[in-house]
Structure 1
Amino acid sequence: MRPIVLCIVGAGGSYTPEIVEGVLDRPGLELAEVSLTDSDPQRLAVMAGLTRRMIAAKGAKIAVRESSDLAQAAAGADFVVTQIRVGGMAARQLDETIPLRYGVIGQETTGPGGMFKALRTIPVMIDIARTIARVAPRAFILNYTNPSGIVTEAVLNHTDAKLLGLCSSIPLLQHRLRRLLAPVFGEVQIASVGLNHLGFIHQITAGDEDVTARAIAHLADGATANDALFASALKIAPRLGAIPVEKYGDLYFHRRAEFEAMASAQRTRAQAVMDIEAEVLAEAADPAVATKPPALIRRGGEGYSGVTFDTLDAVLNDRGAKIVMSAFNNGAVVGLPDDVAVETVCHVDASGARPLPVGEIPLAYRGLVQAVKAHESLTVQAAVTRSRDVALQALLAHPLVGDIDIAEPMLDEMLAAHGLNYQ
């Protein structure tokens, strides 16, 4: 690899140490500079200080630059990681609690909560992407800003920026499956299809043999008995003929249990994360800390840096690697438009990401994926046009809502709570 400049947008976020650790631990990665930018100067200063200490502790020669000005920070970058949260955790708290009052799951990346996060985020990400395309035209944006698939679709349709929508959920699931299946099937290839946070492992092959059904049966037969989260996905897998992505699949296939758990919980996930992030920031601000803060383990995001630098390496060195990410469909998934974002196995090289041909989504979950994709595309339209009618259509299209007597008052309450003026 040639020496590169990496810019992190939203660098005051708690995941920044994960990226920095990945930079320092990645063999063969030559980094000339890390440029950090954030709208919160205090958080930016804390993470910039920790970044410098982590680099110094490793004896690395990497310059660290920080600026609250995006154009200045991103100028000349080769890669830009975006990880912003518009409205912060206070907005997430609203996204999680308001839908519950209407009998609907409140979650930050899907359903009404995910939609409102997208409505707040898309205009900001479009502006960011346009700025990056102007000051760093060769840069690829590696996006983790949620909801990643919807943000990817918005940016690719409304800017000239080169953006790849990353998420560690499916790549981590692939890694775990390879490890679990190796003793029985040897080396396996694992394909997926769907959308970000609505993905399905739909094909597992060993050599030239399709072993999907046998592999699912093996896994469901107790291979993961001590993993409650994985066991939940495997409960539905034999019926679907595919393994839904962990945690997020439960929102659709165990929705009543998920709603009841959220409605009866003493604290929301947003409140728990607020406490964790405060702890991460306190640890990061300690001059004696020169490693990734221990509290970050409880924040989630495992595999974050691995996916980032696998993608960076594939682009920079024209690898032609196969990595699951969100990109324009362009005919790969039959039954979805070309200009929507799908999350599937992509061929990743110096030109970016190209989804590999999938064909039709299996009928067992085709309708679910198509309905959620309609919701996502309507959400992009609503964010760009600021149309209340389109936003209502987006809520009605989502399988977790679909009732105008619920959707309309919930929409108006959430618009008012977030200060969004839609006509």
Structure 2
Amino acid sequence: MLKITFLGAGSTVFAKNVLGDCMLVPALEGFEFALYDIDEQRLRDSENMLRNLQENLHKNIKIKAYLNRKEALTGAKYVINAIQVGGYRPSTVIDFEIPKKYGLRQTIADTVGIGGIFRNLRTIPVMLDFAKDMEEVCPDALFLNYTNPMAVLTGVMNRFTAIQTVGLCHSVQVCTKELFQSLGMDHEGIQEKVAGINHMAWLLEVKRNGEDLYPEIKRRARDKQKVKHHDMVRFELMEKFGYYVTESSEHNAEYHPYFIKSRYPELIEKYNIPLDEYPRRCENQIKNWETMREDLVHNKALEHVRSKEYGSRIIEAIETNIPFKFGGNVLNTGRLISNLPEKACVEVPCIADRSGITPTYVGELPEQLAALNRTNINTQLLTIEAAMTHKRDYIYQAAMLDPHTAAELSLDDIVLLCDELIEAHGDWLPRFKKNEIFAAL
């Protein structure tokens, strides 16, 4: 069976981007696009939207919505994952509001930090359920994971299941283009090399005709730092550590111990850091959804232009055997990045073709960049230990090793915060037991 299954298909805008892209690939004519979501209304919305798009594009594909996950997965060749466990309410609100009581502020809270830890803990069991179904009904399918926290979830799938998984983000493909646009530089014809971990990969090389463009980038960035702009954290990291990071300043502000500090509130203003940015976006999306829904779901004239997402291009490369290079998240097996742990999930250049996904060897990162990556990897690996053992101690230790959390809170307050978050999330989390280290607390 030629079948692409989309888990979390109620994400209508994202389903349009990824499956709309797939509709534009001639090699995917005749495929079934199988849609699954636990929210039946949102599922039907996406089904209707894709049927309108199919009709306008005159594509020979089958679109089918499923209420049974295993049926949706049966026989799939590719599985696209875009779920959010717990949603904005209650889970994301909990992840923001309870840490605020302890003086711990966040911007996005979906990758590391206290919000990222708890998003992982409620999502990993669902991902393992997906894998169990896939091992039964589509064991050879390629799992394209778009769900955050990217590194942990992709790492769990590759370490603890038999499902071939690659994690896909949006930041690598737009990193240098948006950087050059912001600095008024010409992006055409550049050569780049990007590697690290998800949301903290590094622009290691950027050249044109053999000329290193970093000196000019840094000169213009220093000039731009004299006035407020949206990318001040990344420019500061580049100034202090030598390289530009792929993901946005609002994300990176909470991945490091330097920027969001209750003792130095002036840093928020200095670096233009948007605290509570993700809740603000969610509220705006909720407020505007009915208008967006009308434009998407019931628009008989709906059109689509291929997006920047990697998914359709990877699938196209495998179907046609025309190689496609992309930044993918994979296990650091064989030390693709030699000064990062082998259990880590790294973001490196990968090649897709008929043989599947082949990650490329990067070698050593500059030591200061590897050191920054390891501060986040520590928390990621301990979060995985917590999820796989159900030991509460590992949750505490993951939070204690998180750079931002550790910079703000005492060890005792971190334990109290984690306990309160576990209690608040209730049935969205598995049961976690204390062992000998924290049993008396």
Task: State the TM-score, normalized to the length of structure 1.
Answer: 0.86
**Secondary structure in 1 aligned to 2:110?**
coil
Q: Which residue of 2 aligns with 1:298?
A: none
Distance 1:108 1:235 in 2: 22
Distance 1:161 1:266 in 2: 37
**Shift in Å, 1:181:** 9.0
Conserved in 2, the CA contact under 8 Å of 1:368 and 1:399?
A: no
Q: State yes or no: 1:255 paired with 2:257.
A: no
Q: State yes or no: 1:422 paired with 2:429.
A: no
Distance 1:289 1:25 in 2: 19
**Secondary structure in 2 aligned to 1:98?**
helix
**Shift in Å, 1:351:** 3.7
Q: Which residue of 2 aligns with 1:11?
A: 9
Conserved in 1, the CA contact under 8 Å of 2:96 and 2:276?
A: no
Identical positions, percent: 25
**Secondary structure in 2 aligned to 1:8?**
strand
1:194 alignment partner, one of 193, 196, 218: 196
Q: State yes or no: 1:336 paired with 2:337.
A: no
Distance 2:25 2:139 in 1: 25
**Secondary structure in 2 aligned to 1:418?**
helix
Q: Deviations over 1:179-214 (max 9, x none)?
A: 7899668622211222112222122233455x1532
Distance 2:352 2:98 in 1: 40
The residue identity in structure 1 corresponding to 2:421 is: M
Q: Deviations over 1:110-160 (max 9, x none)?
A: 200011000000111011022123212231111011101110001111100
Distance 2:417 2:361 in 1: 39
- More deviation, 79-88/397-406: 397-406
**Secondary structure in 2 aligned to 1:347?**
strand
Cα distance change on mapping 1:185 and 1:176 into 2, 3 Å: closer
Q: Which residue of 2 aligns with 1:104?
A: 104
Cα distance change on mapping 1:133 and 1:182 into 2, 3 Å: farther
Aligned residues: 412
Cα distance change on mapping 1:177 and 1:40 into 2, 3 Å: same
Distance 1:224 1:259 in 2: 14
**Shift in Å, 1:25:** 3.8
Q: Matches of residues 55-66 of structure 1 in structure 2 within 5 Å?
A: 55-66=54-65
**Secondary structure in 1 aligned to 2:59?**
coil
Q: Which residue of 1 aligns with 2:49?
A: 50
**Shift in Å, 1:29:** 4.4
Distance 1:358 1:85 in 2: 32
Q: Which residue of 2 aligns with 1:147?
A: 149
**Secondary structure in 2 aligned to 1:34?**
strand
RMSD over equivalenced CA pairs, Å? 3.3
Q: Matches of residues 146-225 of structure 1 in structure 2 within 5 Å?
A: 146-177=148-179, 187-209=189-211, 211=212, 213-220=214-221
Cα distance change on mapping 1:364 and 1:391 into 2, 3 Å: same
**Shift in Å, 1:83:** 0.6
**Shift in Å, 1:268:** 5.7
Conserved in 2, the CA contact under 8 Å of 1:9 and 1:38?
A: yes
**Shift in Å, 1:12:** 0.8
Q: Which residue of 1 aligns with 2:415?
A: 408
Distance 2:30 2:225 in 1: 39
Q: Which residue of 1 aligns with 2:79?
A: 80
2:115 alignment partner, one of 113, 132, 142: 113
Conserved in 2, the CA contact under 8 Å of 1:181 and 1:215?
A: no
The residue identity in structure 2 corresponding to 1:307 is: Y
Cα distance change on mapping 1:100 and 1:265 into 2, 3 Å: farther
Conserved in 2, the CA contact under 8 Å of 1:180 and 1:223?
A: no
Conserved in 2, the CA contact under 8 Å of 1:105 and 1:111?
A: no
Cα distance change on mapping 1:303 and 1:418 into 2, 3 Å: farther
**Shift in Å, 1:305:** 5.4
1:306 alignment partner, one of 297, 304, 309: 309
**Shift in Å, 1:341:** 0.7
Q: Which residue of 2 aligns with 1:122?
A: 124
Uncovered stretches (5+) of structure 2, i.e. residues with no partner: 434-441
Q: Which residue of 2 aligns with 1:137?
A: 139
